[in-house]
Chain A
Amino acid sequence: MSQAATLHREPAESPLTPESWGKLGMWIFLCGDAMTFGTLIVTFGIMRIAADNWPVPAEVLGINLTAAMTFLLICSSVTMVKALSGIKRGNMQEFRKFMLLTILGGTAFLLLQAYEWNHLIHLGVTITENKYGSPVFGDTFYIMTGFHGMHVFGGVVYLAVILVGGLTGRIHQGNSSVVEIAGLYWHFVDLVWILIFTFVYLL
Chain B
Amino acid sequence: MADTAAAHTEAHAEPNYLAVFGWLFILTVIEVGVIFVPIPWLMIAGALVILALVKASLVAIYFMHLKFEKLVIWWIAVIPVILCVFLIFMLIPELA
Seen from chain A, the residues whose Cβ lies within 8 Å of a Cβ on chain B are: 12-14, 17, 19-20, 23-24, 27-28, 30-31, 34-35, 38-39, 41-43, 45-46, 49-50, 58, 63, 67, 70-71, 74-75, 77-78, 80-82, 85, 88, 174, 177, 180, 183-184, 187-188, 190-191, 194-195, 197-199, 202-203
Contact = CB atoms under 8 A, between A and B. Distances in A.
Contacts of A20: 5
Nearest to A28: B76
A5 to B, nearest CB: 22
Given A50-B94, A78-B18, A71 B77 contact: no
A167 B34 CA distance: 45
Interface in B19-39: 20-21, 24-25, 28, 31-32, 34-35
Interface residues of B, number: 46
A190 B88 contact: no
29 contacts: A13-B8, A14-B1, A17-B1, A23-B73, A30-B77, A31-B76, A34-B77, A35-B83, A38-B83, A38-B84, A42-B87, A46-B91, A46-B92, A50-B95, A70-B28, A77-B21, A80-B63, A177-B9, A183-B64, A187-B64, A190-B59, A194-B55, A194-B59, A197-B31, A197-B52, A198-B51, A198-B55, A202-B32, A202-B34
B59 A77 contact: yes
A31 B80 contact: yes
Interface of B: 1-2, 4-5, 8-10, 14, 17-18, 20-21, 24-25, 28, 31-32, 34-35, 45, 48-49, 51-52, 55-56, 59-60, 63-65, 72-73, 76-77, 79-81, 83-84, 87-88, 91-92, 94-95
